[in-house]
Amino acid sequence: MHDIWNPWHGCVRASEGCVNCYMFYLDTQRGGDGSRIFRTQNFDYPLQRKRDGSLRVRPGELIRVCMTSDFFLEEADAWRDRAWDIMRERSDVRFFCSPSDPSVSPATCPPIGVTAGITSPLTFPQKINVVQMSACRSL
């Protein structure tokens, strides 16, 4: 596992599991407000290159997505399509996403062409691949 990609930061407490959320705790410790949702300066992290021109995130690596937010927040709707595009551009990277809200619907499944691991909170991750995308979208 290489790293974490937080295209946006901040969250909405959606379930009882959010009571002890580390992001809210850490933001409070740093004088921040975890409920303030904003696009990060590192939004394009999976596309960034080192000084030598090589990609920061190597092919085949696993990136945990939105560890300081929820990828499926309504407040992030304006940014999500571009995030999917970035995942599509980096189809050589594995993206792991665990929504904070246990009620995430099939409508939020990754679009065709994006392979991402998506898991509900406190459950074993399910690998969602391109074949499963069409089944997911038909629900």
Tell me the mean pLDDT in the region 10-15. Answer: 80
Tell me the mean pLDDT in the region 59-81. Answer: 88
Our count of domains for the chain comes to 1
Give the pair of three-digit tokens for residue 75: 């407040």
- Tens of pLDDT, residue by residue over 75-134, are 999 999 999 889 888 888 888 877 666 665 545 566 655 655 544 343 333 333 333 333
Give the range of the structural domain holding residue 131, as residue numbers without chain letter: 3-137
Residue 79 contacts residue 95 (beta carbons within 8 Å): no
Residue type for position 98: S
- In this structure, what are the phi and psi dihedrals at residue 24, rounded to the nearest 5 degrees? -65, -40
pLDDT score for 44:
97
H or E element, residue 79: helix 77-89
CA distance 88 to 11: 25
